[in-house]
Amino acid sequence: MKAIQRFLLLTTLLTAFSCKDEKTNVKVLVNKFADLECRAMTLREQRFELANQLRFTQDTLMQRSKQADTTRLQSRLIAFNQQKEIMLKQSLLLADSIHTSLDDIMKNQLASKSEKQAFNDMLNEALVQRGCIKKS
C-alpha cells in the first residue's frame, strides 16, 4: 500500500513539474519570438522613415537648380540608397529568421490548437507590454 502511495505521489510531482516546465518553455518561446517581432516592427518603421527621406530628397532635387544644392542632395541620395540596401538585407534576414522560428514553433513545439492559440495570445500581450503594438 505504501509503495502505491509513493508511486502516486512521485507521479503527481513529476506531472506537476513537467507542466510547469512546459508553461515556462512556452513563455521562453513567446519572449524569443516577441524579440524578433519587435525588431521587425522597429525596422519596418525605420524603412518607412528612410523612404520618406528618399522621396523628399528626390522631390527637392528635382525643384532645385543651384549647383551647391544639387551636389549636396545627390550625396544625400547616395547615402540614403546605401542605407536602404543595408536595411533591405537586415529585413530579409530577419524575415527568414521569423519564418523559420514560427515554422518550428508551430510544427515542433506546440501540438494542439489550444496551445497555438495560447501562444498567440501570450505573444500579443508581450508585444503590447513591450510597446511594439497598441492594445486592440
110 contacts: CB under 8 Å, gap ≥ 6: 26, 116, 119
The domain ranges of the chain are 2-129
The cell for 8 is 502516486
Burial class (CB in 10 A: 0-12, 13-18, 19+), 130: middle
Which of the four pLDDT bands, split at 50, 70 and 90, describes residue 52?
very high
pLDDT at 51: 97
**3-state SS record for 20-38:** HHHHHHHHHHHHHHHHHHH
State mean pLDDT over 69-84.
93
39 exposure class (CB count in 10 Å sphere: 0-12, 13-18, 19+): middle
Task: Give pLDDT tens digits for 87-136.
Answer: 999 999 999 999 999 999 999 888 889 999 999 999 999 999 999 988 76
